[in-house]
Structure 1
Amino acid sequence: MPKPRIFVIIPAYNEEESVARVLNDIPPGLVEEVVVCDNNSSDNTAEEAHRAGATVVFQPEPGYGAACLKGMEYISSKPADQQPDIIVFLDGDYSDHPEQMPEVLKPIIEEDYDLVIGSRALGNMEPGAMQPQQIFGNWLATNLIRLFFKYRFTDLGPFRAIKWDKLMALNMQDRNYGWTVEMQVKAAKAGLRCTEVPVDYRC
């Protein structure tokens, strides 16, 4: 595809210590707008995000999915010619490596994939970065997706990129931590072209 318009959505709850580092590590010139959704933080997350150059929107309703949906609502309110081609989702706690964003985007830009999951299972993960129950939950969910939909995923990680029009067509609904698995299940059911790339993950 020609040079795409890329936006980033970062759901954030009490991330004043980390959100600016996340924003500063996004490669310069790569994205047009970063939207941080402050998910009812009690600290200075919003101020730190704004100071680091992000657009800040607010979602008082607690929930990871609710914050992501609020970010999407803000973007979809823009005129059609100002909406993005690709959306990247990224956490605000600095557990992901924003500098790896070009690798996450590459399969969409160069190979026309619809959805790319940054897989922590395929990358380097610091010991203790994921709890045993998270690892088991990932294993169970990805194996069920493989069983029922014949799509091979190794992770439900938050660092991901998806074409904006494909994301809107999925009609995302989950307002909590089922957001990532909902996206992957709906993508599989819709027959989207999906792949994974290795990403690193830290405590």
Structure 2
Amino acid sequence: MIDVVLPCLDEAAALPWVLERMPYGYRPIVVDNGSTDGSARVAEAHGATVVHEPRRGFGAACHTGLMAATARIVCFMDADASLDPRQLPRVAEPVLAGDGDLVLGRRVERRPGPGGGGHGWPAHARAGNAVLAWRLRRGAGIPLRDLGPMRACRREALVALGLADRRFGYPLEMVLRAAAAGWRVTEREVDYLPRAGRSKVTGTVRGTLRAIADMRAVLASHRP
């Protein structure tokens, strides 16, 4: 069994597609982060384990899901249908095989997404992600092209890293702490689909700038 943490804020429209495509042996843990659209009820109706995190914050939701997980391997992915759960083995199997310690999905844009429409990857968000990945390669020697939200690692090892950020810096802190601990950080290509609805982060320039500010704070606190 592999646990899959899905931080969730108002994703009722996307959850059925996401949960119905969860591979056999992968247990979805939906972390409701204060949804008002009935996301928790939808997740439960589709067989997911639902936990609640009232503190708003992407990192808070991710970490609550990590604490609720019990499997040896844990995956993370967005719940907005921009990533196909059927591709989770692409990031989980290298960890299972001992070929990597933290494996991220490098997003490659594909069309169409679920339902044939939706919102793609905005240019401002794609550019911000590229700059962060470049800084990781140049400043920390971490061979990543994308700070992808689909990822896999060993649960107990991740807990031991002691991640502290509870905002949008959580995914970046995970990579930085893993690399500092000597983990093998790699990536595999996964499809990136037009998501259902507009992202709370990348859907607006303001949201993207807020996420970048959180990540810059994490970078500053982890300088050698």
Structure 1-normalised TM-score? 0.87
Shift in Å, 1:125: 3.9
- Which of 3, 10, 27 matches 1:7? 3
Q: Please report how far the alpha carbon of residue 85 of structure 1 lies from its aligned counterpart in structure 2 after TM superposition.
A: 1.1
**Is the partner of 2:75 in helix, strand or coil?**
strand
Q: Distance in 1 between matches of 2:144 and 2:124?
A: 18
Corresponding residue of 1:35 = 29
Structure 1 residue 7: Cα displacement: 0.6
Deviation of residue 73 (structure 1)? Answer: 2.4
Distance 1:10 1:49 in 2: 10
| Superposition map of 1:85-96 within 5 A | 85-96=72-83
> What residue in structure 1 maps to residue 203 of structure 2?
none
1:17-96 to 2 correspondence within 5 Å? 17-28=13-24, 30-31=25-26, 33-75=27-69, 83-96=70-83
Q: Which residue, 187, 190, 197 being the options, matches 1:199? A: 190
Paired residues of 1:114 and 1:166 also in contact (CA < 8 A)? no
Map 1:101-140 onto structure 2 (within 5 A): 101-120=88-107, 123-126=108-111, 129-140=120-131
CA contact (8 A) 2:22 2:28 kept: no
- In 2: Cα distance, 1:197 partner to 1:93 partner: 20
Q: Does the Cα contact within 8 Å between 2:83 and 2:193 map onto a contact in 1?
A: yes
Change (3 A) 1:189 1:35: same
Structure 2: 5+ residue runs without aligned partners? 113-118, 195-224
Fraction of identical pairs, as percent: 37
Residues in 2 aligned to 1:87 and 1:153: alpha-carbon distance in whole angstroms = 20
Is the alpha carbon distance of 1:126 and 1:184 closer, same or farther for their aligned partners in structure 2, counting shifts above 3 Å?
farther
Deviations 1:62-92 (A, max 9, x none): 11111111112223xxxxxxx3111010111
Return the offset for 1:126: 4.5
Q: Which runs of no fewer than 5 residues in structure 1 stay unpaired?
A: 76-82
Query: Is the partner of 1:23 in helix, strand or coil?
Result: helix
Q: Report the CA distance between 1:22 and its aligned residue.
A: 0.6
Question: Paired residue for 2:147?
Answer: 156
Q: Is the 1:14–1:43 Cα contact (8 Å) retained in structure 2?
A: yes
Displacement of 1:182 after TM fit? 1.1
What is the CA-CA distance between 1:115 and the residue it aligns to?
0.6
Aligned mates of 1:16, 1:85 — CA distance in 2: 29
The number of aligned residues is: 188
TM-score calculated relative to the size of structure 2:
0.79
Work out whether residues 88 and 162 of structure 1, in 8 Å CA contact, stay in contact via their aligned partners in 2: yes
SS at 2:3's partner residue? strand
Letter in structure 1 aligned against 2:169: G
Structure 1 segments of 4 or more deviating over 6 A?
Answer: none
